[in-house]
Amino acid sequence: QLSADRRYVAFMSNYSKLWRHSFTATYSLYDRESNLSLCFQAFVWNNDVYVKSSPTAPPQRVTDTGMENLIFNGVPDWVYEEEMFSSGQGFWWSPGGKHVAYIESNDTEVHHIEYTWFGESQYPTTVSIPYPKVEHPPGTPNPVVKLFIVDTDNTTRVSEVVVPAPFRLSEHYLASVTWVTDERIAVQWLKRVQQHLILQIYSFDGSHWNPYLFLFQDLEVNSQSGWIGRFSPAEPVFVPGGESYYLVMSDSSGYKHLHHVVNGTATPVTSGPWEVVDILKATEDSVYYSSNEDGDRPGGRNVYKLSKDLKKTCLTCSVNEERCQYNSALLSHNASFYLLSCRGPGIPYYSLVNTIDNGSEPDLVLENNDRFSSLIAGIEMPTVLRDTFDLHGYKLWYKLVLPPGFDKSKKYPLLIDVYGGPCSQEVHYVYQVSWATYLASTEKIIVASFDGRGSGYQGDKLMHSIYKRLGTYEVEDQIAAARKFIELGFVDKDRVAIWGWSYGGYVTSMALGSGSGVFTCGMAVAPVSKWVYYDSIYTERYMMEPSENSLGYSNSTVTERAKNFHSVKYLLVHGTADDNVHFQQAAEISEALVEEQVDFEAMWYTDKDHALSDSAYQHVYTHMTHFLLRCFA
């Protein structure tokens, strides 16, 4: 990676994956002017933070409390990495390099999940990870997380960033850290139930970091209908100078929109029955963002520029409209250029756009995938149909991957491809060549996806409809969609299957166990069986704690539906080293089915995690294909 001034190059080697986002590696810096190799500037080693004030300065140890699986400095623990930060990063440089903010995660009281690592040794070993599950008697504590800031010129000067008073005596999360200037930092704090958030801006007074209330009142957000944000809360994007910022949050109509926040007061600057997805860049006179406003397509994406006078311009709506309905942009420092990524529904292409000279017209095509287009030109590819059903008062989107030469007078087998988790979106306009492509083109199977209640980017009313009731509406809607597809007239009602991975495996299992009679068979990869077995941040976001929602938890378990599996064919798949959805979940389903004398198939993957990577990835799709063809025979 090249530094902004192009003098230094950072090299990474000896990469070793830890969890979904985190990894360990060896780093080195190369000075292009002196041709010298240097050590890295800030790093975490054995859960402690080290800082170098310059590339040539010796490293200074900032913390000495790091302990494996107990105290994490500068890196998130498992649950923060997976559910809050979506990153393995736990320290942040200020813009000018004057300070480094870092987290301390104290997992001393957190219970551990343990699983066997078989490896190739004579005796297997045990992997142990601090993994907080939902608050369930006798209690499973969360990590205690604090934020500290160190002065890089004097690493003995370390100050804690104090939690806002309303949250100090209750369990809470550190949701995000955003530097404004070298002397100002914005921090979002979130209560454990995730319906109450405070965004606090702190300033440095020479010795401490205190709330900067002179120009920045804190922003307090409460949600009455569900959780805050889509997953974890959206991060603020500050205008140059840092006097105000933009934030994506729900407006009074329950749609996620762009808000301009000045001194703690948030004013919506976009509105309508659509949603802003991301803020891409804020400049002195404009803000750039992506949304799904254009064409009444929730699964589409376009890039917009909103000026100070609230004049809105779509930069991508007219760019190759048939090919490009799912667009994103990476803007240069001053937004004079952006990298346009057209990701579908046609074959993707990438171009560089000069906003000053050319507006939205591509200045340079970087990759148009002509070679790929030529390679598939002679292959009969499926066609993709996107449309809506009216269901439960909502206009809900579906996608059908139809075999080449599709004839609506014939009867085809149908596979429902489901995820179904909160804020999910399967009916989008991204170009895909996947297992569904193979099944439709080679095996003549229609593959369908459906975004029911609980899905995202269509307003809080739809998304929050499954709040405190996972395993209900999102499952019922997949069953209802299957019935709707049968009513179209070209689906063989005796050959209907469903499959999913992770949350999709959970929905698959709940649907098969519903006793609906719609599905012939199904395949569940790495499914949840009971939410009390899953991590605290994710589960409580949508279900609260069991003490506050006991009925919701009891109605959401796969194992309670075991007796209904007699009437379906079921394939259960899991990796034995799944650090996310533990093998315990599949073991519970298996035990419940055996107790009910249900005949089912199972496949486990030794020492494989949630992604079933490497050889297991191809194997699982081959195995599921064979299972599906036997089911439809």
Residue 625 carries which DSSP code?
Answer: H
Find the catalytic residue in 257, 259, 464, 610.
610
Length in residues, the chain: 633
Inter-CA distances, 275 with 236, 271, 314, 512, Å: 17, 8, 14, 33
Please provide the average confidence, as pLDDT, over all residues in the chain. 91
Q: Which distant-in-sequence residues (6+ apart) come within 8 Å of 78 by Cβ?
A: 19, 129, 130, 131, 535, 579
Q: Sign of torsion, CA 567 571 577 581?
A: negative
Does 578 qualify as catalytic in the annotation? yes
**Average pLDDT for 595-621:** 96
> Which residue type does 602 have?
A
Q: What is the pLDDT of residues 401-428, one digit of tens each?
A: 999 999 999 999 999 999 999 999 999 9
- Position 4 scores a pLDDT of 66
CA distance 384 to 344: 12
Q: What is the pLDDT of residues 620-633, one digit of tens each?
A: 999 999 999 999 99
CB-CB contact of 359 with 318 (8 Å): no
Is the pLDDT at 289 greater than 70, yes or no? yes
Q: How confident is the model at residue 2 (pLDDT cuts 50, 70, 90)?
A: confident
- Best CA proximity match to 134, nearest among 533, 466, 467, 526: 533
CB-CB contact of 152 with 100 (8 Å): yes
CA distance 607 to 586: 15
Q: How much is the pTM? A: 0.91
- Best CA proximity match to 114, nearest among 104, 95, 127, 133: 127
CA distance 475 to 495: 19
CA distance 469 to 185: 37
Is the pLDDT at 38 greater than 90, yes or no? no
Q: What is the pLDDT of residues 338-359, one digit of tens each?
A: 999 999 999 999 999 988 765 5
What tokens does 168 get? 């100090």
| Across 178-187, 445-454, 616-625, least confident range | 178-187
Find the catalytic residue in 107, 578, 579, 609.
578
Domains and CATH numbers, the chain: 1-107+143-222 (2.140.10.30), 380-632 (3.40.50.1820)
- Position 256 scores a pLDDT of 97
Is the pLDDT at 536 greater than 70, yes or no? yes
Q: What is the pLDDT of residues 45-76, one digit of tens each?
A: 889 999 887 667 778 899 999 999 999 999 99
Share of the chain above pLDDT 90, in %: 76
| Across 10-14, 150-154, 222-226, 623-627, least confident range | 10-14
Q: How confident is the model at residue 217 (pLDDT cuts 50, 70, 90)?
A: confident
| Across 13-27, 108-122, 247-261, 560-574, least confident range | 13-27
CA distance 398 to 385: 8
- Position 214 scores a pLDDT of 60
Find the catalytic residue in 159, 424, 502, 536.
502
